[in-house]
Amino acid sequence: MDFKRNPDTHFKGIDKLGKKEATEEIRALREGINYHDHLYYVKDSPKISDAVYDKLFQRLQDLEEAFPDLKTGDSPTVRVGAEPVSQLKKIKHKVPLLSLQASLDEKNIESFLKTACKKANSQSVKYVLEPKFDGLSVEVIYEKGRFKYGTTRGNGEVGEDISHNLKTIHALPLSLQHRDDAPATLAVRGEVFMPRDGFMALNKRRVERDEEPFANPRNAAAGLMRQYKSRQVAGKPLSLFFYEILALDGEQPPNHQEVLDQLSRWGLKTSPLNESAFSLKQIENYHRKLAEHRDHLDYEIDGIVIKVDDHSLREALGTRDRNPRWAIAWKFEPRKEVTQVEDIAVQVGRTGILTPVALLQPVDVGGVTVSRATLHNEGEVQRKDIRVGDRVRIIRAGDVIPEVEERVKQRGRKRGKIFKMPKRCPVCNSKVVREGAYHLCTAGLSCAAQLSGHIQHYAARDAMDIDHLGEKAADQLVRREMVHNLADLYALDTNDLKSLDGFAERSATQLYVAIQGAKKPRLDRFLFALGIPRVGRKVAKQLAGEFRSLEKLADASEGEIAKISGIGSEVAAATANFFADDNNREVLERMRKSGVRVQSMPRRGKQPLKGKTFVFSGGLDKMTRDEAKERVEALGARTTSSISGETDYLVVGEDPGSKLDEAEEKGVKRLDKKEFLKLLGNS
């Protein structure tokens, strides 16, 4: 039974099949469908019609329904979506997923090449050139040639399990080709992306359904990959390219070109634009060629990646803390276009910062229709002298966020009025104050424009850590006027939450329990959660450590706050103004009446590590790096991210980076995990 070359779609009745016959047909169907998936999604050269493919797929679904014990986790039918997961689990990567040093400056590329040649003691080094994809970086694990799981990059050391969504992407093989030669365990790195035509079609549907369109293909791909329900992802226009073997049982190929060849042999899609080079001139030609053709590709790229081919030379070059020394990204100049400013609106952000936004005649900027662009602040508008009616050049900053780069002069045309920021908030009519370059709405927790963002920030992992309270839920709570301030969150019941789109009995109960469970926060987390202007996590810790209770901080004067070491006058003013506002005090009192009890910070004990500076490298078994930093900071120490002459200790965990070498060069004492825990115990 062969469904590869000339598939026969005249099938025997399922009721006439025995289990042995069904097992053989299911095996052949899976093999045939995987073969045609590879031709269509990876090789771009289909051999059968869509109608024939659909018949094969439907037959497989029917057989697996009739013989459910024969369905397996790597069957092509899993691509239609599975049961939703309750959360995205955290998984540690096989090896750290490093980020790339990126540059727009050709001089930095020359310097990179010189370093590689010097280390190789050669005038010429072979490089592999690849497009720099603008997508979502993922790690994919195969065991015995079968897909095991896949994760996001996360923080480089730990990612989120998105296996259920990756399985829906047809370009991802659930079983490797030539599986008999595959290592027992294989970890590969790739980039999930959304093709441009699929992105435009998806956004059109979202606009038709009165939903917020995705800003760009990268955001669309990342948003879909982090969905709990894979049925919402199945069928969406997603694909991926693979470009690195991270780890495997056995020997790595000796160079990167052979890695790419091996990935292709296993059926893992690699970019057809990859090339080799031996000189700066060849690299310049490749960079120019891709820059000229990027708008004709069906996916977004924002530069090229230059990689040393020889793995032994890579090992000699080593890595920095966050990126390898054997690879660099040479970015393209951002796309620029010219259009007209129809109006200048003022947007109120989560923290109350007012931002002028140019409303534009829609313009295509690198395949993306842009109808608005940020002007940052009043000073920026005046410096660039932007007025309503002006012609302006739009740039996608970082190749993503549209902003007005400059005004295009028009001779003989009368210009509009000079722009000025409003004195009252355009949303709640509260007073607007200026702090440095920015203008702020003083309403704080009671400004409707800030509320959805306040809720999302309040619920964030580093703040109150309220699961299931994301952007969609927050927007609905505000839009339906179910929540007018943060205190209203604690008055919601499961029936209220069940009325939200996308919520059922179980998810509503989970969110209710999560909200009610967030009633005893530690002071520093609560201060950060409130979204006080200029009070980030570090400042929140400083304030909490100094005042220890919410009541003492709320009653403190601006002068008392400013006395704290490291707290500037702007932070002190923003904090004092926040707690002096009657509306904010009313919200905090209502939260107290709802049962919110902010936990005072514990008294500082002895500080035996005062004056010591710690740096961490690698993972620790018994605690996260942030927890380890908190432990030593509580004992009086200071933590930094880089080795310097002031560093006293380098704590070395699993898979340490280049800091280990730097510590040895500078004579910094190193502590392994056991020694570090002993130091904490003794302190």
- Say if residue 275 carries a ligand binding annotation: no
Strand arrangement of the beta sheet that strand 102-103 belongs to: 102-103, 327-331, 301-308, 127-133, 275-277
Across the strands, what pairs with 140?
150, 188
Going by DSSP bridges, is the β-strand pair 158-160/336-348 parallel, antiparallel, or unpaired? unpaired
What three-state secondary structure class fits 494? helix
Residue 425 labelled as part of a binding site: yes
Q: How far is CA 279 from CA 109, 243, 284, 312, in A?
A: 11, 22, 9, 19
Query: How far apart (Å, rounded) are the C-alpha atoms in residues 449 and 474?
Result: 12
The response to whether 441 counts as a known ligand-binding position is: no
Is 166 labelled as part of a ligand binding site?
no
Residue 17 annotated in ligand binding: no
- Tell me how far apart the alpha carbons of residues 321 and 681 are, in angstroms, rounded to a whole number: 28
**50 annotated ligand-binding residue:** yes
User: Which of left, alpha, beta for 203 (phi over 0: left; psi -120 to 50: alpha)?
Assistant: alpha
- In whole angstroms, what is the distance from residue 382 CA to residue 372 CA? 18
User: DSSP H helical segments within 521-595, as ranges?
Assistant: 523-529, 537-547, 550-554, 558-562, 569-580, 582-593
- Which residue bears the tokens 């490298």? 617
* 142 three-class SS: strand
Instruction: Fill in the amino acid letter for 552.
Output: K
Identity of residue 385: D
Residues 262, 242 contacting (CB under 8 angstroms): no
Work out the number of other CB atoms within 10 angstroms of the CB of residue 378: 19
Q: Is 132 designated active site?
A: yes
157 is in an annotated binding site: no
Q: Spell out a b/e string for 63-93, using b for 16 or more CB atoms within 10 Å of the CB, else e.
A: bbeebeeeeeeebbbbbebbeebeebeebeb
Cα torsion for 334, 336, 340, 345, to the nearest 10°?
A: 0
Cβ atoms within 10 Å of 11's Cβ, excluding its own: 15
Instruction: Report the run of H or E that residue 200 belongs to, with start and end.
Output: helix 196-208
CA–CA separation, 321 vs 172, rounded Å? 31
Which one, of 659, 658, 662, 664, lies nearest residue 324 by Cα? 658
Rounded-to-integer distance, Cα 384 and Cα 375, Å: 9
Is 53 known as a binding-site position? yes
- Neighbour tally for 197: CB within 10 Å: 12
Which of 4, 90, 114, 132 is the catalytic position?
132
**675 in a known ligand binding site:** no
β-strand pairing of 432-435 with 438-441: antiparallel
Strands 368-374 and 327-331: unpaired
R_g (Cα) of the chain, nearest Å: 28
Q: Is 191 annotated as a binding residue?
A: yes
Q: E strands, 409-492, where? A: 432-435, 438-441
Residue given tokens 């005038």 in the structure block: 123
Q: Is 117 known to sit in a ligand binding site?
A: no
Q: How many other CB atoms are there within 10 angstroms of residue 475's CB atom?
A: 17
Q: Please identify every residue annotated as catalytic.
A: 132
Which residues line the annotated binding site? Answer: 50-54, 99-100, 130, 153, 191, 307, 331, 425, 428, 447
Which residues line the annotated binding site for Zn(2+)? Answer: 425, 428, 447
Which residues line the annotated binding site for NAD(+)? Answer: 50-54, 99-100, 130, 153, 191, 307, 331
